[in-house]
């Protein structure tokens, strides 16, 4: 290995004493490839196995905690105990390759396709549809339903424990239900679940508390809890960096194992609030300090990109598109072959990359998403 890149391969201890073998993480990425009943497919298992050998930790694609939270065609489920064998199969495949297995748990809220949820009942914090033509107007959840969904996050955490995962990541990013409650754009409620910034924090923090309660009750070994968030929204009103700093303060007090920033570009700059035009990741790291480790992500295509990102003080780096394009990204750096890393996807390499067909179709029909697809 080139000694320049050795910091990427230092071990890292999370607060609960769980050791990661290196600083590199597979980012959670929807793959659209599960069975219609919500169980994982052989193609998904092959896809994850191929990408679990190098990284220290794998965060799975999101799994829905409630039937009306299924956000994608081909998404695997975690909403009933019937799903435990399926969940276990994926956890075992990841762990067999030497990586920690983290199950990302979520509810799609207003972003769910109506045809995927019972009775086409699309729900959210309020009745504000998401941007885009033909988006359904969601039904505001009742207080009783909100409390039920919070419990569902705890129940899916229990299933993750029983299925053999090393932890869960609470998906509070990318415009899904948890973010919908935190956002002043989608949450215009006037009860305890919305209104002021403090009240908009109620749902995210309630989910964290419920997850931790389930772990305290059911886990017999240290169990990781992370939280993923998107630092800003383009809408007005919408989440600003100042809002996100308040969220970070609330999350840091919960003794989480890590915070995971959802960004397409690691060095992207803030739009508004909290020193606009400064890199979001630097603002976040400064606010977090040493309270909780941060995972950074976004267009880290080369080993040099990764080292530069680590120099920001961020201790863990997630690779998403990069591991789809080159499943051996980590091994190539570790073996001193970093110049061989592939940074653009080849239209002819689906089979040799072990990419399930639904994900492949999404990639090749989404210009600009992956380098090499124009």
* Greatest extent of the chain over all pairs of C-alpha atoms, in Å: 57
CA-wise closest residue to 27 among 53, 63, 51: 51
Is 5 designated active site? no
Contacts of 305 (CB under 8 A, 6+ apart): 266, 299
**237 cis-preceded (ω within 30 degrees of 0):** yes
Write the DSSP string, 321-349: HHHHH-TTHHHHHHTT-GGG---S--TT-
The full DSSP string for 286-312 is HHHTTSS-EEEES---SHHHHHHHHTT
Q: Per the residue annotation, which of 47, 64, 176, 258 is the catalytic one?
A: 176
Contact yes or no for 248/284 (Cβ under 8 A): yes
Dist. CA 203–CA 167, nearest whole Å:
21
- Both tokens assigned to 364: 């090749």
**Per-residue burial over 97-118, b = 16 or more CB atoms within 10 Å of its CB, e = otherwise:** bebbbbbbbbbbbbbbeeebbe
Do residues 165 and 87 make contact, with C-beta atoms less than 8 angstroms apart?
A: yes
Residues recognised as catalytic: 176
């Amino acid at each position: 290995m080139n000694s320049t890149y050795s910091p990427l391969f230092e071990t890292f201890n999370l607060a609960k004493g769980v050791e990661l073998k290196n600083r590199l993480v597979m980012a959670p990425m929807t793959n659209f490839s599960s069975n219609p009943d919500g169980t994982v497919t052989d193609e998904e298992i092959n896809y994850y196995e191929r990408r679990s050998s190098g990284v220290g930790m794998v965060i799975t694609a999101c799994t829905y905690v409630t039937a009306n939270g299924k956000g994608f065609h081909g998404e695997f489920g975690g909403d009933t105990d019937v799903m435990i064998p399926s969940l276990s199969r994926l956890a075992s495949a990841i762990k067999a390759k030497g990586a920690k297995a983290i199950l990302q748990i979520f509810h799609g809220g207003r972003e769910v396709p109506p045809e995927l949820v019972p009775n086409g009942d699309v729900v959210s914090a309020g009745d504000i549809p998401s941007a885009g033509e033909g988006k359904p107007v969601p039904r505001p959840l009742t207080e009783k339903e909100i409390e039920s969904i919070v419990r569902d996050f705890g129940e899916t955490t229990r299933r993750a424990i029983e299925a053999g995962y090393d932890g869960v990541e609470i998906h509070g990013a990318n415009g899904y239900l948890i973010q919908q409650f935190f956002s002043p754009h989608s949450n215009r409620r006037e009860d305890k679940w919305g209104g002021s910034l403090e009240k908009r924090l109620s749902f995210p923090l309630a989910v964290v508390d419920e997850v931790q309660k389930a772990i305290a009750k059911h886990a017999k070994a240290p169990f990781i809890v992370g939280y993923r968030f998107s630092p800003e929204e383009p809408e007005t009103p919408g989440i600003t960096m100042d809002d996100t700093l308040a969220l970070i303060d609330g999350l840091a007090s919960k003794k989480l194992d890590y915070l995971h920033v959802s960004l397409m570009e690691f060095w992207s700059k803030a739009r508004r609030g909290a020193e606009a035009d400064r890199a979001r990741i630097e603002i976040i790291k400064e606010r977090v300090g040493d309270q909780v480790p941060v995972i950074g992500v976004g267009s880290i295509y080369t080993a040099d990109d990764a080292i530069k990102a680590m120099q920001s003080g961020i201790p863990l780096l997630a690779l998403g598109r990069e591991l789809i394009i080159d499943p051996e990204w980590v091994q190539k750096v570790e073996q001193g072959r970093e110049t061989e890393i592939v940074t653009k996807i080849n239209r002819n390499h689906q089979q040799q990359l072990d990419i399930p067909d639904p994900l492949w179709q999404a990639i090749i029909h989404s210009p600009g998403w992956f380098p090499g697809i124009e």
